[in-house]
Amino acid sequence: MTTQQDCLALDARDELAPLRDLFDLPDGVVYLDGNSLGALPRATAARVQQVATAEWGRDLIKSWNTAGWIDLPQRVGDKIGRLVGAGAGELVVADSTSVNLYKALSAALDLARSDMPGRRRIVSERFNFPTDLYIAESLARQHGFELVLAEPEDIPGLIDEGLAVLMLTHVNYRTGRMHRMEETNRAVHAAGALVVWDLAHSAGAVPVNLKGSGPREAAADFAVGCGYKYLNGGPGAPAFVWAHPQHTARMDAEQRWQPLSGWLGHAAPFMFTPDYHPAAGIQRFVCGTPPVLSLAALECGVDTMLAAEPLGGPAALRRKSVALTELFIQLVEARCAGHGLTLQTPRAAAERGSQVSFSRAEGGYAIMQALIARGVIGDFRAPDILRFGFTPLYTRFADVWDAVEHLAQVLQSGEWREARFNQRAAVT
């Protein structure tokens, strides 16, 4: 079995180790929750301070032009595009993941109604993230579609002549199971339907190529994603939305709207006309005024991801992610055996994102709280999931060893049974 010395040796050889210095991480903490909220980049506080005191405080409203505030959604969007296989000008930062999913799924359903009028089925994974399912349920009710939820293994059987739109999260938030994106895209398009991807647990964590490696059939149709997880944009950071250029070109030609036709999605917002004309391309998916302070923070977070490019980029990040998660699984199963933990994350690396989840019938929430009290921060997802995220930019192999050591002690000592660890907080 891997020893503590082996973990230290792996850290000494880690080609990505210098990237940890880009983050302001508290001493004595093993942070395994970057899949929920990314750590603070060292550059962020100074950058936000500069925007607040100089660009806003000194230059006031002039900064929309002089500091390029108005261009931030596209500028940061182009940087994120480099991480997910999107071209320049194809992806934009705006609003939240939920709002962007409403826009993207609405656009997909609008196209489906035109091209496939007899198809009324939206399919998604039963344990997709709830906000995705709630948005899909709302749109299904509004437009007369049927939302069908299925287990991952049953989804291929639902990709048929009745399918209008398949909506999936690339990496499942509970289990870390990762769908095969290109293979799924091909199957959906062969059936004549459309596919919308949520990249909340993918962007910045695993390699993503929205446009595929071959013909159009291999590419996605629409995608949304989160700015505050692996992109390290800070709590509540704005999200992003992408549409395949084929779809935005058609929307341009046919003057199709996305449903939230806000003023900055207008072709000429500063003409202040009373009627709406959608902007060209992805810009039509912008709605309201961009949150400048949050965008400045998000840009710092995305820049930490792009700093990995000279060190091997997404491929190097993926190799380390696989190594970290495999080590964690190996150590937990060896050192915590007999304590009721059941692996929920796929063992096959090709089917796993950058997180590991274990279930336990009793005390999952309290066990996580006991770990957090010891400085090992993961999170809990009801009803029984202990979830651990591994961010290759700053997670060390020694952190994996330490986390499992604390987990073993918590389980062996039974300290999780203490009353203080069994009081539910509002956020788990």
Which residues are identified as catalytic? 129, 198, 228-229, 387
Q: How far apart are CA 373 and CA 368, in angstroms?
A: 9
Reading the block at residue 90, the tokens are 């194809």
**Residue 243: which H helix or E strand, with range?**
strand 240-243
What type of residue sits at position 6? D
Give the length of the chain.
Answer: 428
- Please enumerate in sequence order all residues whose Cβ is within 8 A of that of 302, keeping only pairs 6 or more positions apart, or say none: 76, 79, 80, 83, 204, 231, 232, 233
Please spell the DSSP secondary structure of 63-90, one letter per residue. Answer: HHHHT-GGGHHHHHHHHHHHHHTPPTTS
Rounded to 5, what percent of the chain is helix, strand, coil? Answer: 50, 15, 35
Residue 338 burial (C-beta neighbours within 10 Å; 0-12, 13-18, 19+): exposed
Phi, then psi, of 218 in degrees rounded to 5:
-85, -10
- Residue 228 is given by DSSP the state S
CA atoms within 13 A on the CB side of 340: 14
- Residue 23 is given by DSSP the state B
Number of other residues whose CB lies within 10 A of the CB of residue 154: 13
Chain centroid, CA 334 distance in Å: 30
Q: Specify the pairing of strand 355-359 against strand 342-343.
A: antiparallel
